[in-house]
Amino acid sequence: MTDKKHIKPTDVQLNWLRRGLTQPGGKLPLFDKNGKQIGDKTVQSCIDHGWAAPWFDNPVKPDWLICKLTDEGRRVVTAEDAKPQTHP
């Protein structure tokens, strides 16, 4: 079994989670900045790791999962953003 505390989000996950930092209630977007829907695997993986949580049902589009950033997700994003950036 993998220890969740040592799992690092991918760049795609991190970019999605980061967008919840500035939204009311930590709401995570359904679409990326180019208008493409966030992938189901990205959303589910972030939920599985405890970084995101389902928030409420969307009555207009019941197949869309509306999520919010969790406290753990906020911690992971903040920790990743605080790391020094290394460039080759």
Q: Which CATH number is 9-76 given?
A: 1.10.10
Segment 71-87 mean pLDDT: 85
- Check whether 63 has a pLDDT greater than 90: no
What is the model's pLDDT at position 2? 44
- Return the H-helix or E-strand segment holding 15: helix 11-19
- pTM to 2 decimal places: 0.83
**Secondary structure (DSSP) of 33-74:** TTSPBPPHHHHHHHHHTTSEEEEEE-SS-TTSEEEEE-HHHH
Pick the closest to residue 23 from 62, 73, 58, 60 (CA basis): 73
What is the model's pLDDT at position 61? 81
What is the model's pLDDT at position 27? 96
What is the model's pLDDT at position 65? 87
**Residue 52: what residue type?**
A
What is the model's pLDDT at position 52? 98
Q: Which residue has the higher pLDDT, 86 or 82?
A: 82
